[in-house]
């Protein structure tokens, strides 16, 4: 049976190959099976980009272009903008009465991110309440499935606590618990060998990179620093080129043969990089082509359509929620 899925991104930079294998491919599959919503979390993005709001605004368009380019189909997937759905703010305010300060301070995801961001004593309450606002994002479209990384599991647990508390308190079943689905998705290392490819880390290949940039990024990839001569045996552990070949090269047998050859000696870095570059180009060329065919005005329309579709659902949800709370409607 079709279920409602919610996923999304913060529009803080263009999407890269890490997103492609980590979430985009999954969404292209999901849209065939389920009713999928993809939320561009522009309000959330502003929380730590308030000094550069134009960056967020520009990246909304870049991110949606990336979606369309990889095959997310706006006739199947509803793409919407968090800032345009007032009902999310309304639910956030309602839910804030159902969650204690202590509970939020104990949320492991919040705790970890609070340390990472180094807020110290001056935590913005907006940041602390992030799990509450995420509960609003999820429940406003009545999402039943939320694809997440392992680190996000406590957030979904927090959402479901709120759902149960609300439904019990107001004797209703209008809110739905969501299931966190851990993706089978792979994590992609950075081209510099760092654990993660990140928008802001400067170590990612973007879906919108042109062919020359992809080439130069591939040729700058971290390999085996001790593999100095072609004839030397090379190490494939921690070798970024092989990590990418494992994921992006279609012929798995050829990859195994290349690995054996490289380990034995006689296969140079230039040669394997050339092979990887070709594999990536096979993937990226059609994405790039699709991207070039999409104008900003198309994106504007796609988002507008998604917002209209989403509002139909969220206005219904808020009506049900307010009914349950005995709030009249004027």
> Which residues of the chain form contacts with a second copy (CB under 8 A)?
42-43, 46-47, 50-51, 53-54, 56-57, 60, 81, 83-84, 86-87, 89-90, 92-94, 96-102, 104, 121-129, 132-133, 169-170, 300, 303-304, 307, 322, 325-330
By C-beta, is 75 or 326 nearer to a second copy? 326
| Shortest Å, Cβ 102 to a second copy | 6
| Shortest Å, Cβ 241 to a second copy | 40
Compute φ and ψ for 74, nearest 5 degrees: -65, -10
Report whether 67 contacts 36 (CB < 8 A): no
Tally Cβ neighbours within 10 Å of residue 185: 17
| Shortest Å, Cβ 103 to a second copy | 8
By C-beta, is 99 or 155 nearer to a second copy? 99
Distance separating alpha carbons of residues 228 and 192, to the nearest angstrom: 18
By C-beta, is 51 or 237 nearer to a second copy? 51
| Shortest Å, Cβ 141 to a second copy | 17
| Shortest Å, Cβ 327 to a second copy | 5
By C-beta, is 70 or 321 nearer to a second copy? 321
User: How large is the angle between the packed helices 252-264 and 240-248, nearest 10 degrees?
Assistant: 160
| Shortest Å, Cβ 63 to a second copy | 14
By C-beta, is 51 or 212 nearer to a second copy? 51
Report whether 200 contacts 206 (CB < 8 A): no
| Shortest Å, Cβ 199 to a second copy | 19
The maximal CA–CA distance of the chain, rounded, in angstroms, is 79
Of 325, 11, 2, 43, the closest CA to residue 143 belongs to 2
Distance separating alpha carbons of residues 165 and 158, to the nearest angstrom: 11
List the strands of the sheet with 35-40, edge to edge.
77-81, 35-40, 4-9, 145-148, 179-182
User: How large is the angle between the packed helices 130-140 and 296-324, nearest 10 degrees?
Assistant: 90
Contacts of 329 (CB under 8 A, 6+ apart): 319, 322
By C-beta, is 281 or 315 nearer to a second copy? 315
By C-beta, is 245 or 299 nearer to a second copy? 299
Q: Please give the distance of CA 50 from its chain centroid, rounded to a whole number.
A: 20
């Amino acid at each position: 049976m079709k279920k409602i899925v919610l996923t999304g991104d913060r529009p803080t930079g263009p999407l890269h190959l890490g997103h492609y294998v980590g979430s985009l491919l999954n969404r292209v599959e999901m849209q065939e099976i389920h009713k999928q919503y993809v939320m561009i979390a522009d309000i959330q993005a502003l929380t730590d980009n308030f000094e550069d709001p134009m960056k967020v605004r520009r990246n909304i368009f870049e991110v949606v272009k990336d979606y369309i380019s990889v095959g997310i189909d706006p006739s199947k997937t509803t793409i919407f903008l968090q800032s345009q759905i007032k009902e999310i703010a309304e639910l956030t305010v309602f839910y804030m009465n159902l969650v204690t300060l202590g509970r939020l301070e104990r949320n492991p995801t919040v705790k970890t991110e609070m340390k990472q961001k180094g807020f110290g004593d001056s935590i913005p309450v907006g940041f602390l309440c992030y799990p509450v606002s995420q509960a609003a994002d999820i429940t406003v479209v009545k999402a039943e499935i939320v694809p997440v990384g392992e680190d996000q599991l406590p957030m979904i647990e927090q959402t479901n606590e709120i759902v149960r508390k609300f439904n019990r308190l107001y004797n209703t079943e209008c809110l739905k618990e969501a299931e966190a689905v851990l993706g089978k998705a792979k994590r992609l290392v950075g081209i510099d060998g760092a654990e993660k490819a990140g928008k802001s880390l400067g170590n990612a290949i973007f879906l919108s990179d042109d062919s020359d940039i992809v080439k130069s990024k591939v040729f700058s990839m971290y390999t085996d620093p001790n593999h100095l001569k072609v004839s030397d045996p090379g190490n494939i552990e921690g070798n970024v080129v092989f990590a990418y070949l494992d994921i992006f090269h279609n012929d798995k047998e050829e990859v195994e043969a290349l690995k054996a050859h490289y380990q034995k000696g006689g296969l140079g870095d230039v040669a394997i990089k050339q092979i990887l570059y070709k594999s990536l180009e096979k993937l990226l060329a059609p994405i790039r082509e699709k991207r070039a065919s999409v104008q900003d005005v198309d994106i504007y329309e796609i988002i507008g359509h998604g917002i209209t579709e989403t509002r139909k659902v969220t206005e219904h949800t808020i009506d049900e929620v307010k009914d349950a709370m005995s709030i009249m409607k004027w």
